[in-house]
C-alpha cells in the first residue's frame, strides 16, 4: 500500500504543487505550495491519530492533506475537483478501489461546505486545512503589499497558531495569537467566519466540538 512518503516522492505530484504555488503567487494569494501542503498533511495526521483513527486512515489523512490544493494551477474556482481527478490520473491502479474513491472524495469535499461528509479523512482534512492561518503563509515580502490584502494582513498578524485535540472532552481547539497592533481581531472574522463554521461542521461529524481561542479569549 502506498504511503504519504511515496506520494511525496512522486515527481508529477510535486510539479502540480509547485505550479500551484506559482499560480497563487501570480494572484497574490497566500502560500498554497509545499509549506501549506506540508503543514496540512502533518496536522491532518496528528488529528487523525489523536481521535483514534486506524493507522491506515492516519496515512490517508496525510495523503489528502498533501494533495488537496494541487489543482489550483488549473483553476482556482474548481481546484478541489481538479485535484481529485489529477490524483486519480497519477495513481490509478495503485490504490484499492475504496481507498481511491475516499481520497478523491475527501479532496473534492475540502472546499465544498454544502457537501455531506461520509468519511473521517474528509472531515479531518477540512479542519487541518481551514485552521492553517499563520504569518509564514504570507507570500508578499513588502509591507506595503501585505497591508493591501486582508488575507495577507490577517495571516501576517497571526504570530502563533496551534491546534489541540482533547479526546476526553471531545473538543478540537484552534488557538491563535494575533497582533492587534497590525489588524483588529474583527478582520479575522471577516474572512474566516465561513471557514470556522465549516470546521465546526466537520468536527461535529467526528463527534467533537470545535473551539477557537484568540489572544487567550475563547470565542467558540
**Residues 6 or more apart from 109 whose CB is under 8 A from it?**
80, 115, 117, 122, 125, 126
What pLDDT score does 116 carry?
77
Output the domain CATH number for residue 110.
1.10.3210
What pLDDT score does 1 carry?
92
What pLDDT score does 117 carry?
85
List the domain range (segments joined by +) for residue 105: 4-218
- The pairs formed by 79-86 with CB atoms below 8 angstroms and a separation of 24 or more are 79/20, 79/111, 80/107, 80/108, 80/109, 80/110, 80/111, 80/112, 81/108, 83/16, 83/107, 83/108, 84/108, 86/16
What pLDDT score does 36 carry?
97
What pLDDT score does 151 carry?
93
What pLDDT score does 67 carry?
98
Residue ranges for the chain with pLDDT beneath 70:
115
* Per-residue pLDDT reduced to its tens digit, 177-200: 999 999 999 999 999 999 999 999
What pLDDT score does 139 carry?
87
For residue 217, what are the β-bridge partners? 214
Structurally, the chain folds into a number of domains equal to: 1
What pLDDT score does 112 carry?
79
- Annotate 120-161 with DSSP letters as a single string: HHHHHHHHHHHT---GGG----SHHHHTT-HHHHHHHHEEEE
Amino acid at each position: 500500500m502506498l504511503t504519504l512518503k511515496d506520494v511525496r516522492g512522486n515527481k508529477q505530484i510535486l510539479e502540480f504543487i509547485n505550479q500551484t504555488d506559482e499560480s497563487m503567487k501570480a494572484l497574490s494569494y497566500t502560500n498554497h505550495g509545499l509549506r501549506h501542503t506540508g503543514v496540512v498533511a502533518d496536522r491532518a495526521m496528528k488529528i487523525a491519530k489523536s481521535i483514534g483513527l486506524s493507522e491506515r486512515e492516519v496515512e490517508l489523512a496525510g495523503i489528502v492533506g498533501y494533495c488537496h490544493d494541487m489543482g489550483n494551477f488549473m483553476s482556482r474556482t474548481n481546484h478541489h475537483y481538479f485535484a481529485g481527478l489529477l490524483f486519480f490520473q497519477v495513481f490509478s491502479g495503485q490504490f484499492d478501489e475504496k481507498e481511491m474513491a475516499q481520497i478523491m472524495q475527501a479532496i473534492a469535499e475540502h472546499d465544498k461546505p454544502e457537501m455531506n461528509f461520509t468519511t473521517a479523512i474528509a472531515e479531518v482534512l477540512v479542519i487541518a486545512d481551514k485552521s492553517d492561518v499563520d504569518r509564514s503563509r504570507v507570500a508578499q515580502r513588502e509591507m506595503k503589499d501585505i497591508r493591501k490584502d486582508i488575507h495577507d494582513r490577517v495571516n501576517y498578524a497571526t504570530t502563533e497558531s496551534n491546534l489541540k485535540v482533547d479526546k476526553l472532552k471531545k473538543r478540537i481547539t484552534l488557538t491563535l495569537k494575533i497582533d492587534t497592533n497590525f489588524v483588529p481581531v474583527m478582520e479575522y472574522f471577516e474572512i474566516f467566519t465561513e471557514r470556522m463554521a465549516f470546521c465546526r461542521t466537520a468536527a461535529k461529524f467526528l463527534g467533537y466540538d470545535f473551539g477557537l481561542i484568540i489572544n487567550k479569549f475563547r470565542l467558540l
